A = this chain, B = another copy of it.
Amino acid sequence: MAPVSLDTINPKVLKCQYAVRGEIVTLAQAVQEELKSKPGSRPFDEILYCNIGNPQSLGQQPLTFFREVLALCDHPFILDKSETRGLFSADAIERARQILDQIPGSATGAYSHSQGIKGLRDAIAAGIEARDGFPADPNDIFLTDGASPAVHMMMQLLIRSEKDGILCPIPQYPLYSASIALHGGTLVPYYLDEATGWGLEVSELKKQWADAKSKGITPRALVVINPGNPTGQVLAENNQKEIVDFCKKEGLVLLADEVYQENVYVPEKKFHSFKKVARSMGYGEKDISVVSFQSVSKGYYGECGKRGGYMEVTGFGPEIREQIYKLASVNLCSNISGQILASLVMSPPKVGDESYESYSAEKDGILSSLKRRAKTLEDAFNKLEGVTCNKAEGAMYLFPRIRLPEKAIKAAEAAKTTPDNFYCRCLLNATGIVVVPGSGFGQVPGTWHFRCTILPQEDKIPAVVSRLTEFHKSFMEEFRE
């Protein structure tokens, strides 16, 4: 008798869903294996993973300066060798030395302080100050293995039972629904308005908040993803102010997912951190609780595999901070390479540094290319019959809406799946392109979408567009009534 069965595991685990690595991705992996063992068995010869914000898996190159510093910190022994000067830039060598000086005993193989190495938190706080124009305290920084564990930590802290609600945008990044499910809380959805470019209306927040209250749910926190994932909108500052006021008034913790802060592609929008917005309104530590999540996985760096990130925790009393510290301590600390990288992305080379020019060229190259790709894909989607797609003002995704013929919806039903899932499955089977069905993010009932990253390298984009266009035409033909 197996001691563990689906009937005897934690039902919260069963309930949790995570579409970004869900059914379609498993199917894609199987097709990939098939392509390896039977080349030519499909009308395409590679799988194009547009399901996940994982730039380097699709060929984006890491920033040279960042990697130089990481390599030197991994093997400080070579810092004093003459050959090293031929292999590494002078400012990378200098930065590695500075970082090693900040680490007790220069020991990059030691557990650090549970919040992360103090010197690196100093650098991050200075970077936040430079970005926002308001002070940041290194003691407010908790370095984490990417943003995901930070989100889990806050959910674990806040959620007592299914009576505790977390306001989440719909569509949302499924980390939030997964984490709320795992911690046994209730997701209180608020809908972004697709018609106004995924607008976040405070009236909608108020409505959903009141609705939750009327059901006996206590809303504890509001998740805002800005720039949006999967929706790509960048919030206007005035809108952010209204959101801050709403949280302040209702006593909600503002959980600000700001991991795409470097990814803004339209000149009329600018990223403003929620902490900056709150401070600019005159609200201090005692007025509002704001947690800002940042990650080395996004931006122009895209260092997903390094698992670096941090949360900046403001507006909590010392007794709560102690509890957060304890949660961080139970896992001892986040990985030191990720910690170093988090400090680097918040304090990159400056004008005058040897690496500055090459760094800027690499950075600008990536960001301007992302911008072009976003536009090309957006235009391509909008040309498809029955498809509309809002602009990606920021982040790394498009979330087109697809209007499917009744016959396709029936075919999905017959295949025991949702229409968006059915569409994505057909797309994968016909083209090798992997996207995530809108169901995984949430959508207005009766509407269907999918999320597609803008991350295939530029030389692949024409193929993506033509394969997608061709597929969509034949799909619509097949199911036309």
Contacts and interface: CB of A to CB of B under 8 A. Distances in A.
A16 B105 contact: no
Quick one: copies of this chain in the complex? 2
Interface in A298-345: 302-307, 315-317, 319-320, 323, 326-327, 329-338
Interface stretch (A73-81, A227-235, A350-358, A430-438): A73-81
Nearest to A19: B329
Of the four ranges (under 10, 10 to 19, 20 to 34, 35 or more), the interface on chain A belongs to 35 or more
Interface in A179-225: 179, 182-183, 220-221
A252 B1 CA distance: 10
A160 interface: yes
Interface stretch (A83-91, A373-381, A391-399, A472-480): A83-91
Contact of A305 (B55, B71, B109): B109
Given A109-B306, A110-B54, A182-B156, A253 B87 contact: no
Interface stretch (A62-70, A132-140, A272-280): A62-70
Interface string A39-80: 000000000000010111111001010011011101101100
A110 B57 contact: yes
A57 B178 contact: no
B57 A68 contact: no
Contacts of A182: 156, 327, 330
A159 B450 CA distance: 35
Interface of A: 1-6, 8-11, 13-14, 16-18, 20-21, 52, 54-59, 62, 64, 67-68, 70-72, 74-75, 77-78, 81, 83-84, 86-87, 104-105, 107-112, 114, 145-146, 148-149, 152, 156-160, 175, 178-179, 182-183, 220-221, 251-253, 286, 289, 297, 302-307, 315-317, 319-320, 323, 326-327, 329-338
